[in-house]
């Protein structure tokens, strides 16, 4: 529809890693979500940079993880200093990002049409 999510990155290593991306809109069209993750848990890619961008909505919440939950393991969030959240983007922070990414979750608020 009116919303989109783009994930760009550069990484080294890792062979045949399976990744998934889900996008969704809440029933009332008020929230748009975008998730990118590796279902097997931890990624062995060496990420030099990443950026996720939403179109048609403004980011309300975002979190990046070095490890995605699998089995008894929990999601392991990146330190807040490793990435930055802007109005429509989530990206690595140069010099602070530790090259590990296994999951990225974004929830964005869609613009309301006033009556």
pLDDT digits (tens, 9 = 90+) for 48-90: 999 999 999 999 999 999 999 988 889 999 999 999 999 999 9
pLDDT at 113: 60
DSSP reduced 3-state for 41: coil
Q: What is the pLDDT of residue 86?
A: 98
User: Which of the 8 DSSP states describes residue 80?
Assistant: G
Annotation: CATH topology of 4-109: Immunoglobulin-like (2.60.40)
pLDDT of 1 higher than 70: no
- Reported confidence tier of residue 2, pLDDT bands at 50, 70, 90: confident
- CA 97 to each of CA 32, 46, 48, 114: distance values in angstroms, whole numbers, following the listed order: 26, 11, 8, 40
Full-model pTM = 0.92
Query: So what's the pLDDT on residue 73?
Result: 86
The stretch 9-23 carries a mean pLDDT of: 91
Domain ranges in the chain are 4-109
- Rounded CA separation 35/25 (Å): 12
Tell me what the mean pLDDT of segment 29-40 comes to: 94
């Amino acid at each position: 529809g009116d919303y989109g999510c783009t994930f760009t990155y550069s990484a080294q290593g890792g062979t045949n890693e399976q990744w998934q991306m889900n996008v969704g809109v809440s029933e009332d069209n008020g929230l748009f979500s975008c998730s990118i993750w590796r279902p097997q848990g931890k990624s062995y890619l060496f990420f030099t940079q990443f950026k996720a961008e939403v179109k048609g909505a403004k980011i309300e919440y975002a979190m990046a993880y070095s490890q995605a939950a699998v089995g008894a393991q929990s999601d392991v969030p990146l330190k807040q200093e490793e990435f930055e959240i802007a109005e429509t983007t989530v990206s690595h922070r140069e010099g602070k990002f530790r090259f590990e990414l296994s999951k990225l979750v974004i929830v964005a608020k869609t613009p309301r049409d006033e009556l």
